[in-house]
Structure 1
Amino acid sequence: MANYDHDKVVPDKSSLLGKKQQVAKMFDTIAFRYDFLNRFLSAGIDVSWRKKALKELKSIQPQRLLDVATGTGDVAILALEMLQPQKITGIDISEGMLELGRKKIDKLGANDRIELISGDSEGIPFNDATFDAVTVAFGVRNFENLEKGLKEMLRVLKPGGKLVVLEFSKPKQAAFKGIYNLYMNVVAPGFGSMIAKNKEAYEYLKESMLKFPEGQQFVQILDHSGYINTTCKPLTMGICSIYTGTKR
């Protein structure tokens, strides 16, 4: 199974822990400010990105949906509103993020429709062909082994089921690159340090984005992992992309 540069990017290079354990620890630390920072640092655009990603599933009307790297449950909650599936399961390796997500779901009175559980993308705790659709928003970049995670998600999809991945990418337009680089190098780490008291988390975000195999390279990895009808749709001048793939 292939390894990619971003697989080796970790939040703390001096730590003896593996990437998975470091990422879980990092998100536990910043969980209390995660939702706020997402809205603030993206000027609220991240909500529209998630909505566009979920629209990719409207045509198949999934009844059982798995949200991998669910975090505080934003995609799971939006999916309930937009797609009305019978059951949504969210998995994440950060218990701190899951705890906040469960509180949001409880407040909505949606506990009978959305369940958030501790789970690893590279060892999903469900049988083969369980789900009609799988979503991952800003999570594949944190996988310790990208290809292994993609193949696991394919395994739990039903034949004809669809994967939708939302992930950061790098803008191609020269005029926008300077603004983007300033934002990623100065603004995001600065606000991350000031508000979440964790500059390292946003430094990690930047480095993992720079090394992530985006665009057509990621589409080729989806193809290699066994998905068919794969696509890539850049959003907002290319700073984010929606990837899709289907199980045979």
Structure 2
Amino acid sequence: MVEEDFGPISSLLYAWVTSFGFMRSFHQFIVSQMSCSSGPILDVGMGPGVVPIRFLERNRSSWAIGLDPSVSMLKIAQKRGARSGVYDRLEAVRGTSTHLPCRSSSLGTIIASLSFHHWGRRRESLQEVRRVLRPGGRFYVYEFHPSVAGGLLGILARSHTMDGSTFVRSSVGSGFVRAETLKVGRYFVGILVK
């Protein structure tokens, strides 16, 4: 599996879905977890940019890098950033998890929200995440928990789920000093500490 590259139509559809209440709640949850993070942050697979934009709205002195393989998603994120007044603090970059556009040991926080399940070369990607994190830095993975079932959320989230054992298996041998997993309501959170 390679990382998903959304085209123009699927990008617009995905951006539209992010306006649904359950997605707004999910993004608010992520940003509340990040509120203690001082920037810059890197969002790997940022999609339409909701998470870094919300983070920047709450943290006026920070900046963020949003990475996505889809040019269409990057354009949507840039437009949303301009509308939100954070355009000058959001660097939207085309790329994948295997080649992060950052210096070694340069970031304290890297996130992947609803993108980690797309990473086809997780071991290589996690080595790259580790390279970019400062000592003590954290990598946060946010996905829906597999227990989400039924209704529209269950249908949409079915391919965007992860549990603790899958996450831990993915991180074995990646060189992080600690792996943590949490289930918070319908959300799965994985944390790797360098």
Counterpart amino acid of residue 37 in structure 1: V
**1:134 counterpart SS class:** strand
Q: Do the aligned partners of 1:65 and 1:88 also contact (CA within 8 Å) in 2?
A: yes
Corresponding residue number in structure 1 for 2:27: 50
Higher RCO (CA 8 Å, separation ≥ 6 residues): 1
TM-score (norm 1): 0.69
- Larger helix fraction of residues: 1
Corresponding residue number in structure 2 for 1:167: 143
Corresponding residue number in structure 2 for 1:196: none
Map 1:16-55 onto structure 2 (within 5 A): 19-20=2-3, 23-24=4-5, 26-40=6-20, 44-55=21-32
State whether structure 2 residue 189 is matched by structure 1 residue 242. yes
CA offsets per residue over residues 204-225 of structure 1, 9 Å max, x none? x74x447x5x213313433532
Corresponding residue number in structure 2 for 1:224: 173
CA offsets per residue over residues 105-156 of structure 1, 9 Å max, x none? 1122222211111111111122211212101110011112122222211111
CA offsets per residue over residues 71-127 of structure 1, 9 Å max, x none? 111011111123445321101000001101101111222222111111111111222
**5+ unaligned residues in a row in structure 1: which ranges?**
1-7, 9-18, 189-204
Q: Equivalents in 1 of 2:10, 2:92: separation in Å? A: 18
Q: Equivalents in 2 of 1:225, 1:31: separation in Å? A: 31
Corresponding residue number in structure 2 for 1:14: none
- Larger strand fraction of residues: 2
Compare CA radii of gyration and give the structure with the larger one. Answer: 1
Q: Do the aligned partners of 2:34 and 2:55 also contact (CA within 8 Å) in 1?
A: no
Map 1:41-80 onto structure 2 (within 5 A): 44-59=21-36, 61-80=37-56
TM-score (norm 2): 0.86
**2:47 counterpart SS class:** coil
Question: Number of matched residues?
Answer: 194
Q: Do the aligned partners of 1:64 and 1:88 also contact (CA within 8 Å) in 2?
A: yes
| Identity value in percent | 23
RMSD: 2.5
Is the alpha carbon distance of 1:78 and 1:232 closer, same or farther for their aligned partners in structure 2, counting shifts above 3 Å? same
